């Protein structure tokens, strides 16, 4: 089954929200308290979908989805850095891929395509904050060429989290994970770049080689 990487549209918002909430709950169970998982779910979804539909309004934001057989299975977004803490021009929101399809290269393709979109919006560097305890996500970002550039403490409900900054000072280095930006459609569902799922050369294998 092929994966399509395309621009997110307002029609995708409900499906993106469901994906983000489901993956967030599964990923942070055991890292965050049950109370935080119960009370912060909707805000997490809202923070993600705020990027959708804004990639053409001059705001410098971009939002992409990965689609498989008509179902959204991945999401990545970014825009201008909000507070300067990363030291980069753009800030990437945490990407999400359905758990059943993780470690198949979808996340890397989404991040590479997002890099193309952010560069087209005028950004030259980007970074993101990842909870330190989300070891797989930190390893994934480093696998894509990101550099650990610092840490910070933040609050998630009643839980204090240590977050790691992973940055790409030259955003062009991230584009190698998705080589055909022209195929990213701004149009209707179903258009975009299709390619076979990548299983053998996935992020997990690369992480093992790196470590």
Angle at 176 between CA 123 and CA 119, to 5 degrees: 15
The yes-or-no verdict on residue 194 having pLDDT over 70 is: no
pLDDT in tens, 115-163: 999 999 899 999 999 988 889 999 999 999 999 999 998 876 667 778 9
Nearest to 48 by CA among 79, 84, 85: 79
How much is the pTM? 0.78
- Are 19 and 75 in contact, with CB atoms under 8 Å apart? yes
pLDDT in tens, 3-20: 899 998 888 888 888 898
Angle at 161 between CA 27 and CA 163, to 5 degrees: 85
Q: What is the dihedral of CA 87, 88, 90, 95, to 10 degrees?
A: -80
The CA-atom distances, in angstroms, between 14 and each of 32, 50, 56, 121, 166 are: 24, 12, 20, 26, 29
């Amino acid at each position: 089954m092929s994966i399509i990487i395309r621009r997110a549209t307002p029609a995708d918002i409900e499906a993106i929200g469901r994906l983000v909430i489901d993956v967030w709950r599964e990923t942070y169970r055991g890292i965050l308290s049950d109370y935080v998982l119960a009370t912060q779910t909707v805000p997490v979804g809202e923070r993600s979908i705020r990027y959708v539909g804004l990639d053409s309004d001059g705001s410098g934001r971009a939002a992409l989805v990965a689609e498989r057989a008509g179902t959204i299975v991945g999401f990545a977004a970014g825009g201008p850095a909000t507070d300067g803490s990363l030291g980069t021009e753009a800030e990437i929101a945490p990407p999400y891929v359905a758990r059943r399809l993780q470690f198949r290269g979808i996340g890397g393709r989404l991040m590479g395509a997002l890099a193309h979109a952010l560069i087209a919006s005028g950004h030259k560097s980007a970074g993101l904050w990842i909870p330190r305890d989300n070891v797989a996500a930190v390893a994934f970002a480093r696998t894509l060429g990101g550099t650990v550039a610092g840490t910070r403490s933040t609050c998630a409900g009643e839980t204090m989290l240590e977050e790691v900054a992973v940055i790409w000072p030259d955003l062009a280095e991230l584009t190698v994970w998705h080589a055909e930006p022209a195929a990213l459609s701004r149009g209707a569902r179903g258009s975009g770049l299709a390619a076979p799922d990548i299983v053998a050369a996935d992020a997990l294998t690369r992480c093992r080689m790196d470590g």
